[in-house]
Structure 1
Amino acid sequence: MVSIDALRAHLLAARLAGPVRTPREAGLRSYRLFAARDPRVTLGITPAREWSERDIMALMAAKCGVSADPGHVQGVDAIDPERTVRALDAFAGRLRQVARSRGAVQLGTGHPHRLLGFYAALAEALSAAGCRVLTPARGRRVDIASRFGVRACGLDYVQGVALVREPGARGGVGGTGAHTHSPLPVRAVLESLAESGGPLPDLVIGDHGWVCGAGQLGIEAIGPADIDDPALFVGEAEGSVSVAVPLDDGARSSYYRPLTRYVLNRACLSQ
């Protein structure tokens, strides 16, 4: 069991919160691009209202604890660990509710090199609690745009967690997938479920486009987000995303293990 005090100390020591590795410049660039509705940062969300760069900065200050000073244009920015803890509690609450109802869940990540272990532990615990962990559309092609052109990726699963692989990438439990912000993988998954007549997920758990893409289509979605991922927090503010957890999403995978233990304990899913 990880206490709140121990979790808070870990968040700061691992720089998952407090002064984080994601620079202020990266956050400001994303706020500017989101205000322009650039699909690279909207991640599948279509905002219900207009958001200026100042609006997004104010929202991120409220949701994450980043600086609200428009004069702070470079250097270190920060996430308030108290906001992270509160969001993890809300995240755990949604896990507890879906486990109690033995609902269907879909897990997916665009950060497999960092967060695969976190989601895999959730998938295992939810399955043990009687939830149906969905794994549709394995092998389906997903064409994802990048600055190098279109990547023809394939959907795959590792320990119940969906990800995309580029052609020729190594599979299996030991192999990880490609980094992506795209909402296209979750759209392919939901399309496959609709085509087969299978149940749609009661809850999608993931990051980037997995959360925003599902939330935009009316599927409840929760997940972590960094200070340069304003789309999840805009979605939360507008009601299309249930929980966005502010934290550095690019740290070593081992740094997320205490968060896993904390969340599973709070959700009454510890094994």
Structure 2
Amino acid sequence: MSRIKACFDALKKEERGALIPYLEAFDPDRETSLSLLNGMVDAGADIIEVGIPFSDPSADGPTIQLAAQRGLKAGATLAGVLEMITQFRHTHKTTPIVLMGYFNPIDRYGVERFCKDAAQAGVDGLIIVDLPPEEADIIRPHIRAHHLDLILLTAPTTPDDRLKHILKDATGFVYYVTITGITGTNSATEEQLTQAMTRLRRATSLPVVAGFGITTPEQARSASKITDGAVVASAIIKEMAATFQDGKATEKSIPTALAKIRSLAQAVRS
């Protein structure tokens, strides 16, 4: 059984949704990023989404764009991100890791090689934002061969017929983009989420998590009740980045980010 499925099965017994915090690898440096990654588990993360820094992150808002720029400046590479996850796996065996990124770095790395190395590093799932389902056959056989989950995105504007096409090959969970926009901007209402979930439940039996625009503990609680989990990204990065001096981490940086995650975890569990 995959770590992702085991996680959602356990949460179903607890009758709650997942908290899925996000970090941008190497932001603002490798050491800080790895320390935060390790600390997220005890802070209450059920699944962790790790962003691969990329120079043109088209789906991301300004907060994550700046984090990606800091990560690239700190020397982030795809191989470096995988090595960081390998280190994480030395002490954290069960928490699922989902890599989020864009196809260009994967293509440059080599698709087959990437899937093999990602699985060996301890990655469980992949979100490739700019790879449409129609073109996913370039990577899907290698994902399956190495027992990774390909996590696909849906949005409020996705028509019903396309929804079925997208979800027929989805595994792990479905990522519902709650707004029509970029990360860290607006948020969906409870009514909008409820209506979306009614439609999504008809199209898939996989868990569905909500992301984009979830910033507060109250929003995370609401989203995790209506869906199967809440992804929180920009809000964590923004609070941590406010502690930086000249773009570098301070002694307050990691505690600030972990305090945010604890508040989110407490809300999701309440």
Q: Same fold (TM over 0.5)?
A: no
TM range (shorter): under 0.3
The one of the two structures with greater contact order (alpha-carbon pairs below 8 A, sep at least 6) is 1
Which TM-score applies when normalising by structure 2? Answer: 0.28
Higher percent of residues as helix: 2
